[in-house]
Amino acid sequence: MKCAVPIIIATLLATANFSAFAQPYGMHHGMGGGMMRGPVGMLTQQDAGSAADMGLVMDLVHTNTRIKRSVTHLPDGIRTVTESDDPAVAQAIKAHVASMSGRLKDGREFNLFSTTLPVIFDNADKIKSAVEMTDKGVIVTRTTGDAKVAAALQAHANEVTELVQEGPTAFHRGMNARMAMGPDGPRGAMQRTAQTGKPAIAASQTPHTHDHSFSGAEQWAKVFDNPKRDAWQKPHEVIQALKLKPDAVVADIGSGTGYFSVRLAHMVPKGRVYGLDTEPDMVKYLTDRAKRAGLNNLRAVQAKPGSPMLPEQADLVILVDVYHHIDNREQYFHQLQKSLKPGGRLAVIDFLLDSPEGPPKAARIAPEQVKAELQRAGYVLGEEHAFLPNQYFLVFQPRP
């Protein structure tokens, strides 16, 4: 081994108190505050340390681009090197592995969607572990005399590698898989797929229905955004109602901090999402947010006021709480047609006149006015959804 730092055996790790180490780093996303909130509520088992551990995991998922990892499959297990040049990320890696090693030792399962972790936890007493803390992370060696357990260790190491390579995209895929597993969760799925030896996350890459994706989106939303807005904005239902194909090109005009853009980008993994805003600060914010989240298919675009030109033709243009900000609307939306693909759609969501949320009432525009204006701009109303309590939700298409 290259590193001179002494080997710390998992037994030692299990006896140390890591909560002080883990907690300040782990709570950034505001999703660890309650045992049942966000993905903590989706864990196969919960205990006093679950929220802190989940916070750490989410931090790792979001800093994935700063993590380097290599995995060696040994005949009887794995040797992994997981490191980061960023000291905070290196510390999070160490804290996570330390905590997970302790959990393995004590049988306190920590699992959301992996079908290999149950085998590892059930056979922890057959695993020999060596965890070496380096300056930049950890070197983990786990070996076993049981071929089935060795395969599970290797498969789980591959799952971790996917998380490192793809960050939130892989996490989201794992959550989709979790949703598809049904009430018996990863253990049930493990029994069904044990023979394949495929890691759960990779398994979730097999074709799945849109419904699964959107269920995953709801979990995603719970993790990352303000639940107060979610309650009436219903982003999951909105995106579900739009029935987007995974390769759709979407433009979110007036994207702001990316409340919809980010969710849309998760939903069209093979497509592209453009978040357009006239406000440079918002464009910068969304650029950084997309980068942090590892969303390569989301691009923030500086929009010119009054110009509806998009970087490329879109399958869907969506404006959420933005219609009332646009001047010369008939001209604007008439021109926007050039930026729609054949069969492309325009979705307008904005505040109802009597909604308790939203801009001053004088600034609001009634849905009838939107329909009339867009008809004059050359559109026909395709769908009208009535499930949002504070907003109307209209979907138009250019008149053929």
Residues that bind ligand HEM (CB under 6 A): 57, 60-61, 64, 67, 78, 80, 82, 93, 96-97, 100, 104, 110-112, 117, 120, 138, 140, 142, 153, 156-157, 160, 163-164
In the complex with ligand HEM, the residue whose CB is nearer, 21 or 393, is 21
In the complex with ligand HEM, the residue whose CB is nearer, 115 or 339, is 115
Q: How far apart are CA 267 and CA 261, in angstroms?
A: 10
CB of 235 to ligand HEM, least distance (A): 23
Q: Are 374 and 346 in contact (CB under 8 A)?
A: yes
Amino acid identity, position 165: Q
In the complex with ligand HEM, the residue whose CB is nearer, 82 or 255, is 82
Burial of 17 (0-12, 13-18, 19+ CB in 10 A): exposed
Q: How far apart are CA 338 and CA 95, in angstroms?
A: 52
Q: How far apart are CA 339 and CA 308, in angstroms?
A: 8
CB of 138 to ligand HEM, least distance (A): 6
State how far Cα 277 lies from the chain centre. 22
CB of 190 to ligand HEM, least distance (A): 14
Residue 143 makes CB contacts below 8 A (sequence gap 6+) with 74, 76, 77, 78, 127, 128, 150, 153
In the complex with ligand HEM, the residue whose CB is nearer, 126 or 325, is 126
CB of 300 to ligand HEM, least distance (A): 24
Amino acid identity, position 240: Q
CB of 48 to ligand HEM, least distance (A): 16
Q: Are 225 and 258 in contact (CB under 8 A)?
A: no
CA angle, residues 210, 215, 217, in degrees to nearest 5? 95
- CB closest to ligand HEM, residue no: 80
In the complex with ligand HEM, the residue whose CB is nearer, 64 or 134, is 64
Q: How far apart are CA 155 and CA 115, in angstroms?
A: 9
CB of 213 to ligand HEM, least distance (A): 19
Candidates 116, 127, 123; CA nearest to 187 is 116
CA–CA distances in Å: residue 377 to residues 97, 156, 364, 396: 58, 55, 20, 11
> CB atoms < 10 A from the CB of 296, how many?
13
Stated length of the chain: 400
In the complex with ligand HEM, the residue whose CB is nearer, 177 or 268, is 177
In the complex with ligand HEM, the residue whose CB is nearer, 143 or 240, is 143
Strands 272-277 and 249-253: parallel
In the complex with ligand HEM, the residue whose CB is nearer, 138 or 286, is 138
CB of 159 to ligand HEM, least distance (A): 8
CB of 141 to ligand HEM, least distance (A): 9
In the complex with ligand HEM, the residue whose CB is nearer, 53 or 315, is 53
CA–CA distances in Å: residue 200 to residues 187, 294, 389, 391, 397: 11, 21, 37, 39, 40
CB of 120 to ligand HEM, least distance (A): 5
Candidates 400, 391, 225, 244; CA nearest to 319 is 391
Q: How far apart are CA 225 and CA 219, in angstroms?
A: 10
In the complex with ligand HEM, the residue whose CB is nearer, 138 or 250, is 138
CB of 194 to ligand HEM, least distance (A): 17
Q: How far apart are CA 295 and CA 111, in angstroms?
A: 24
The pair of structure tokens assigned to 129 is 């572990």
